[in-house]
Chains A and B, each alone.
Chain A
Amino acid sequence: MQILGMATIEFFAIALFFIAIFGLITSNNAIKSIVFMTILNAAVITFWIGIGAREGSLPPIMETPDHIYMIGEMSDPVPQALMITAIVIGFSVTAINIIMMNTLFRRYKTSDWKTLFKMMREETVGDGKILSDIVFIKDEKDFDEEGAK
Chain B
Amino acid sequence: MSADYILYALMGITAISILMIMFERKVYRIIIYTAIFSLIISGIYLVLGSPDVAMAEAAIGAYAIIFMIVMAEKYYKRDKTDAEGKKKAPVVISKASSSLPQVLGGLVFVGALAALFVHFAPTSVEANLELRTDYLLRAGDEVGGQNVIGAILMAYRLYDTLFEALLLVIAIMAVSHLSWLGKDYITKGRKSDIQKDKVAFYSIRIISPLILMFGIYLVANGHISAGGGFQGGLAIACFFICRYMIHDIYDMPVKKVLKMEEIVFMALVIVAVLTIFLNVDVPYQHTVLFQNFQLIAANALVGVKVACGFFILFYRYITIERTEKLEK
- Report A's interface with B, CB cutoff 8 A: 1, 4-10, 12, 14, 16, 18-23, 25-29, 31-32, 34-36, 38-39, 42, 45-46, 49-54, 56-63, 68, 71, 74-85, 87-96, 98-103, 105-106, 109-112, 114-115
| Cβ–Cβ contact B127 & A60, under 8 A | no
Partner of B53, one of A1, A62, A84: A84
Decide if the interface of chain A is mainly helix, strand, loop or mixed. Answer: helix
Q: How far, in Å, is B314 (CB) from chain A's closest CB?
A: 10
The verdict on B252 contacting chain A, using a C-beta distance below 8 Å, is: no
| Cβ–Cβ contact B96 & A42, under 8 A | no
Partner of A28, one of B31, B48, B94, B114: B94
Partner of A99, one of B94, B121, B175: B175
The verdict on B93 contacting chain A, using a C-beta distance below 8 Å, is: yes
New contact pairs (6) apart from A25-B105, A75-B49, CB-CB < 8 Å: A21-B113, A38-B38, A38-B65, A60-B149, A61-B147, A92-B170
Contact indicator per residue, chain B 47-67, by CB within 8 Å of chain A (1) or not (0): 111111100110011001100
Decide if the interface of chain B is mainly helix, strand, loop or mixed. Answer: helix
| Cβ–Cβ contact A23 & B11, under 8 A | no
Q: How far, in Å, is B150 (CB) from chain A's closest CB?
A: 9
Per the CB 8 Å criterion, the residue count for chain B at the interface is 101
| Cβ–Cβ contact A87 & B60, under 8 A | yes
A77 and B136 in contact, given A42-B41, A62-B146, A114-B95 (Cβ under 8 angstroms): yes
Q: How far, in Å, is B142 (CB) from chain A's closest CB?
A: 13
8 contacts between A and B (CB under 8 A): A9-B44, A28-B96, A62-B139, A74-B49, A77-B149, A84-B53, A84-B153, A100-B178
| Cβ–Cβ contact A42 & B50, under 8 A | no
| Cβ–Cβ contact B95 & A28, under 8 A | yes
| Cβ–Cβ contact A92 & B167, under 8 A | yes
Q: How far, in Å, is A94 (CB) from chain B's closest CB?
A: 5
- Report B's interface with A, CB cutoff 8 A: 3-4, 7-8, 11, 14, 18, 21-22, 27, 30-31, 34, 37-38, 41, 44-45, 47-53, 56-57, 60-61, 64-65, 68-69, 72-73, 75-76, 91-98, 102-103, 105-107, 109-110, 113-114, 117-118, 121, 123-128, 131-133, 135-137, 139-140, 146-149, 152-153, 157, 160-161, 164, 167-168, 170-171, 174-175, 178-180, 224-226, 228, 230, 306, 313, 316-317, 320, 324
| Cβ–Cβ contact B149 & A32, under 8 A | no
Instruction: Determine the chain B residues whose CB is within 8 A of the CB of A46 once the complex forms.
Output: 41, 44-45
A94 and B65 in contact, given A59-B226, A78-B131 (Cβ under 8 angstroms): yes
| Cβ–Cβ contact B137 & A75, under 8 A | no
Q: Determine which residue in A45, A83, A99, A105 has the highest number of CB atoms from chain B within 10 A of its CB, and name it.
A: A99
Q: How far, in Å, is B145 (CB) from chain A's closest CB?
A: 9
| Cβ–Cβ contact B53 & A45, under 8 A | yes
| Cβ–Cβ contact A95 & B171, under 8 A | yes
| Cβ–Cβ contact B174 & A21, under 8 A | no
| Cβ–Cβ contact A79 & B127, under 8 A | yes
A50 and B114 in contact, given A5-B123, A61-B146, A61-B147 (Cβ under 8 angstroms): no
| Cβ–Cβ contact A68 & B48, under 8 A | no
User: Please, how many angstroms separate the alpha-carbon atoms of A137 and B324 in the complex?
Assistant: 34
User: Please, how many angstroms separate the alpha-carbon atoms of A18 and B160 in the complex?
Assistant: 28
Residue of A nearest to B91 (CB): A109
Instruction: Determine the chain A residues whose CB is within 8 A of the CB of B118 once the complex forms.
Output: 4
Residue of B nearest to A87 (CB): B56
Instruction: Determine the chain B residues whose CB is within 8 A of the CB of A6 once the complex forms.
Output: 121, 123-124
Partner of B57, one of A26, A45, A52, A78: A45
Residue of A nearest to B145 (CB): A62
Q: How far, in Å, is B72 (CB) from chain A's closest CB?
A: 5
Instruction: Determine the chain B residues whose CB is within 8 A of the CB of A78 once the complex forms.
Output: 127-128, 131-132, 135, 152
Instruction: Determine the chain B residues whose CB is within 8 A of the CB of A68 once the complex forms.
Output: 137
Instruction: Determine the chain B residues whose CB is within 8 A of the CB of A12 once the complex forms.
Output: 11, 14
Residue of B nearest to A25 (CB): B106
| Cβ–Cβ contact A53 & B48, under 8 A | yes
Instruction: Determine the chain B residues whose CB is within 8 A of the CB of A61 once the complex forms.
Output: 146-148, 224-226
